[in-house]
């Protein structure tokens, strides 16, 4: 339902900052809750990264869309179609030079107009090279 385009290799300079852009595609007719849902009971979109030589400083989500659905009396804050999530990393000063893979987990909960699907986790494998 939600897929991620394989990310480009991130070039990371020791003691510097690097930015990874994850391109996501949601099947037509579906939505995922945004990172800031309008109602407490809804499960937000979350991206977390395993610890490694690249430490996440900030995860930046796009501006959510506000959609009306039959199941909600007020607009629902969602993402649909193609969207991107950006992560800014701090590269450790002692990061070993060379390639590596940083693993991220994107937790999402998707619905259609009238049906919701159980929360799921999409694994993101981000190749990087420390120079």
Partner 1 sequence: MPGGRESRVKPASARRAAPDFELKDGDGKTVRLSSYRGKVVLLNFWATWCGPCMVEIPWFIDFERRYREQGFAVLGVSMDEDGWRAVKPFVSEVGINYRVVLGDATVAQLYGGVSALPTTFIIDREGRVAAVHQGLVSRSNYENDLRELFESPSRSTGARAPGVPAVAVGAR
Residues 29-88 touching partner 1, rule: CB under 8 A, are 39, 41-43, 69-72, 76
Q: How far is the CB of 120 from partner 1 (least distance, A)?
A: 10
Q: Which residues contact 131 (CB under 8 A, 6 or more apart)?
A: 11, 12, 13, 14, 97
Q: How far apart are CA 63 and CA 34, in angstroms?
A: 9
- When asked if residue 119 is in the footprint of partner 1 (CB under 8 A), the reply is yes
Ramachandran angles phi, psi of 84, nearest 5°? -125, 145
Q: Which of 4, 86, 92, 116 binds partner 1 (CB under 8 A)?
A: 116
Q: How far is the CB of 48 from partner 1 (least distance, A)?
A: 17
Strand order in the sheet with 82-91: 2-4, 17-26, 82-91, 54-60
Calculate the alpha carbon distances from 17 to 8, 86, 95, 117 in Å: 16, 13, 12, 36
Please say which residue, 4 or 116, places its beta carbon nearer to partner 1. 116
Stretch that binds partner 1, among 21-29, 60-68, 85-93, 116-124 (CB under 8 A): 116-124
- When asked if residue 117 is in the footprint of partner 1 (CB under 8 A), the reply is yes
Instruction: Give contact residues for partner 1 (rule: CB under 8 A).
Output: 39, 41-43, 69-72, 76, 109, 111-119
């Amino acid at each position: 339902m939600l897929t991620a385009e394989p990310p480009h290799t991130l070039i990371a300079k020791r003691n510097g900052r690097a930015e990874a852009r994850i391109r996501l595609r949601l099947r037509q007719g579906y939505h995922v809750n945004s990172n800031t849902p309008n109602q407490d009971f809804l499960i937000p979109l979350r991206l977390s990264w395993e610890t490694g030589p690249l430490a996440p400083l900030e995860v930046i989500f796009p501006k959510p869309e506000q959609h009306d659905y039959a199941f909600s009396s007020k607009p629902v804050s969602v993402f649909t179609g193609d969207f991107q999530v950006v992560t800014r990393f701090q590269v450790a000063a002692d990061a070993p030079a060379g390639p590596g893979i940083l693993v991220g987990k994107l937790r999402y909960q998707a619905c259609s107009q009238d049906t919701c699907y159980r929360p799921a986790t999409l694994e993101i494998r981000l190749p990087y090279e420390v120079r």
